[in-house]
Amino acid sequence: MHQDQTPRRCVSRPHPELRHTAARVAEAAVRQGQRCPLLMVLGPSDAGKTTLSWCLARALTERHRQTAFLDADLGQSDVGPPTTVGWTWYVPDLERERPVEAREIYFVGATSPADCILGTAIGTARMTQAARAAGAEAIVIDTCGLVSGPVARELKHALIDLLRPSFVVAIQRKRELEHILAPWERCRSITLERLPSPEHLASKPRGLRRRRRQEAFAAYFRDTTTMTLDLRHVALHGLLPGLGEPVDGITRSLAQNSLGSRLIHAERSDAGVLLVTERPVSSERVRTLQEQLPEEAVIVRAQSELEGLLVALVDPEGRHTCLGRLLSVGVSAHELRLAVPIVPTEVCGVIAGRTSVDAEGRETDQS
């Protein structure tokens, strides 16, 4: 698959105490006798989740389990590009190579799970199924640091309920995770393992997180090929032009007047009226147009927003083969031009994300 060339992160030596803890949890997981124990690591940002997850994967591998490392952190991915859930087999010292290439990915489309909790939960479940189907004898799931508030609770509750891990390893500084753990306290099939977060771990500033994502995107799209897809032969998921019928003249001029920008494309489908404008338009103008078309959803995208939009290519089995960067949409010619790191043999669908990146991997737009 695609060769990842991201600059490697400086990974310090495994901390002896942590290795000891991981060995204890891995031993308990193996002793339970399940064919494929699942260990889910939860915790706030910068609590040591990823470091512990790799240690657990190592400890399970040392106990002769073929172990899958599953990365469900969309923003700070160690496995696969940002915006995806990815998994790979653990091999000794793999953590020194991170970020690493994923064996399979599921495209969620955003870098923040709060924007897509359903997609994150589905992606994590799908990748867990994929790792099991590939013969995993243990799975470690690293998660994102979103743990406070109702959205976080909903996501983490969905993950636990969907996957029913044998172990939930909860790292917390105080009691940040208790509101998530409480409903599972008496669940017989789940062992809750509470660990204190090591003191004085430095927090990663937003700028650093963003820069790491940029590096990861840049590496993913470093060697790309331009691919043209015929919109008549692929299914489109998400808000990309090409799904609908041309709008009537009255709606077209109404839109043009309200939005105050030339329309590149206007179509109507079950999803609503999708308008692609030459220039970005203000949300007030979009609201005004929506008021005039109260019966249907009005979706407006500037041409510049579509350029660089991240998409995933889907194969006939429904797998997300790779990501692509949208280069242009030629609606009249029914074509999408994409920059892709590999050219898949068969593409039957394209999923549009909500993140755009430029050729250097910088995020240019997030909605």
Ligand X SMILES: Nc1ncnc2c1ncn2[C@@H]1O[C@H](COP(=O)(O)OP(=O)(O)OP(=O)(O)O)[C@@H](O)[C@H]1O
Q: Which residues bind ligand X (CB under 6 A)?
A: 12, 15, 18, 43, 45-51, 73, 76, 145, 198, 201, 204
CB nearer Mg ion, residue 9 or residue 63: 9
CA nearest neighbour of 352 among 229, 239, 235, 226 = 239
CB nearer ligand X, residue 10 or residue 133: 10
Q: How far is the CB of 74 from ligand X (least distance, A)?
A: 11
CA 150, 156, 159, 161: dihedral to nearest 10 degrees?
A: -70
**CB-nearer residue toward Mg ion: 182 or 201:** 201
Measured from the CB of residue 9, what is the shortest distance to Mg ion in angstroms? 11
Half-sphere exposure (CA, 13 Å, Cβ side) for 125? 16
Q: Which of 67, 110, 113 is nearest to 92 (CA)?
A: 67
Nearest to 228 by CA among 333, 316, 360, 314: 333
- Which listed option, Mg ion, ligand X, none, makes contact with residue 47 (CB within 5 to 8 Å by class)? ligand X
Q: Which lies closer to ligand X via its Cβ, residue 73 or residue 137? A: 73
Least distance from C-beta 237 to ligand X, angstroms? Answer: 28
Q: Which of 203/253 has CB closer to ligand X?
A: 203
Rounded least distance, CB 135 to ligand X, Å: 27
Comparing CB distances to ligand X, the nearer of 47 and 110 is 47
224 is in the binding site of which of Mg ion, ligand X, none (Cβ under 5 to 8 A by kind)? none
| Nearer Cβ to ligand X (198/349) | 198
Residue nearest to Mg ion (CB): 50
45 binds, among Mg ion, ligand X, none (CB under 5 to 8 A by kind): ligand X
Cβ at position 76, least distance to Mg ion in Å: 5
Cβ atoms within 10 Å, residue 16: 8
User: Least distance in Å: CB of 48 to Mg ion?
Assistant: 8
Q: What is d(CA 355, CA 366) in angstroms, rounded to the nearest whole number?
A: 5
CB of 41 to ligand X, least distance (A): 8
Dihedral sign from CA coordinates of 336, 104, 147, 197: negative
The listed partner (Mg ion, ligand X, none) that binds 19, CB under 5 to 8 Å by sort, is: none
* Neighbouring residues of 180: CB distance < 8 A, sequence distance ≥ 6: 42, 147, 152, 153, 156, 157, 160, 170
Binding site for Mg ion (CB under 5 A): 49-50
User: 3-class SS at 75?
Assistant: coil
Q: Which does 18 bind (CB under 5 to 8 A by kind): ligand X, Mg ion, none?
A: ligand X
Separation between Cα atoms, residue 264 and residue 273, nearest integer Å: 13
Q: How many CB atoms lie within 10 A of CB 206?
A: 8
- What 3-state class would DSSP assign to 279? coil
